[in-house]
Amino acid sequence: MAEKSFKYVIVGGGVAAGYAAREFAKQGLKPGELAIISKEAVAPYERPALSKAYLFPESPARLPGFHVCVGSGGERLLPDWYKEKGIELILRTEIVKADLAAKILISAAGETFKYQILIIATGSSVIRLTDFGVQGADAKNIFYLREIDDADKLVEAFKAKKNGKAVIVGGGYIGLELGAVLQMNNFDVSMVYPEPWCMPRLFTSDIAAFYEGYYKNKGIKIIKGTVAVGFTSDSNGEVKEVKLKDGRVLEADIVVVGVGGRPLTTLFKGQVEEEKGGIKTDASFKTSVTGVYAVGDVATFPLKLYNELRRVEHVDHARKSAEQAVKAIKASEEGKTVEEYDYLPFFYSRSFDLSWQFYGDNVGDTVLFGDNNPASPKPKFGTYWIKDGKVIGAFLEGGTPEENKAIAKVAKAQPPVENPDLLIKEGLSFAAKI
Ligand code: FAD
CA of 61 to the centre of ligand 1 (A): 18
CATH architecture for residues 3-125+262-334 = 3-Layer(bba) Sandwich (3.50)
Q: For residue 345, what is the DSSP state?
A: -
Model pTM?
Answer: 0.97
Contact by Cβ (8 Å): 379, 356: no
What is the rounded distance in angstroms from the CA atom of residue 158 to the CA atom of residue 187? 9
Closest CA to ligand 1's atom 41:
314
183 alpha carbon – ligand 1 mean position (Å): 25
What distance in angstroms lies between residue 207's CA and the mean position of ligand 1's atoms? 26
CA-145 nearest atom, ligand 1? 34
- Rounded Cα distance between 179 and 156, Å, is 17
Cβ–ligand 1 contact at 18 (below 6 Å): no
- Per the DSSP assignment, residues forming a β-bridge with 202 are none
Closest residue (by CA) to atom 37 of ligand 1? 48
> How many angstroms separate the alpha carbon of residue 263 from the centre of ligand 1?
10
Architecture of domain 129-259: 3-Layer(bba) Sandwich (3.50)
Count the neighbouring beta carbons within 10 Å of the beta carbon of residue 87. Answer: 24
CA distance 148 to 41: 9
Compute the distance between CA of residue 225 and CA of residue 229 in angstroms, rounded to an integer.
13
Going by C-alpha positions, the residue among 56, 51, 17 that lies closest to residue 34 is 17
What kind of fold does domain 353-433 have according to CATH?
A: Enolase-like; domain 1 (3.30.390)
Distance 13 CA to ligand 1 centre (A): 9
ipTM of the complex: 0.99
Residues of the chain with CATH 3.30.390.30: 353-433
Half-sphere exposure of 194 (CA within 13 A, CB side): 8
Q: From CA 6, how far away is CA 123, in angstroms rounded?
A: 22
Q: Per residue in 244-268, pLDDT tens? A: 999 999 999 999 999 999 999 999 9
What integer pLDDT is reported at residue 110 of this predicted model?
97
Residues paired with residue 299 on neighbouring β-strands, in sequence order: 279
| Amino acid symbol at 303 | L
Average pLDDT, consecutive stretches of 10 residues, N- to C-terminus, the chain (434 residues): 92 98 97 98 98 97 98 97 98 98 98 98 97 96 98 98 98 97 98 97 97 98 97 98 98 97 97 98 98 98 97 97 98 96 97 97 97 95 97 98 98 95 93 89
Residues of the chain with CATH 3.50.50.60: 3-125+262-334, 129-259
Q: Which atom of ligand 1 is nearest to the CA of 295?
A: 52
Q: How far apart are CA 302 and CA 286, in angstroms?
A: 11
20 close to 295: Cβ distance less than 8 angstroms: yes
- In this predicted structure, what is the pLDDT of residue 177? 98
Cα 113 to Cα 67, 94, 272, 294, 295: the distances in Å are 25, 12, 19, 18, 20
Q: Which residues does 1 contact at the CB level (< 8 Å), separation at least 6?
A: 109, 110, 111, 112
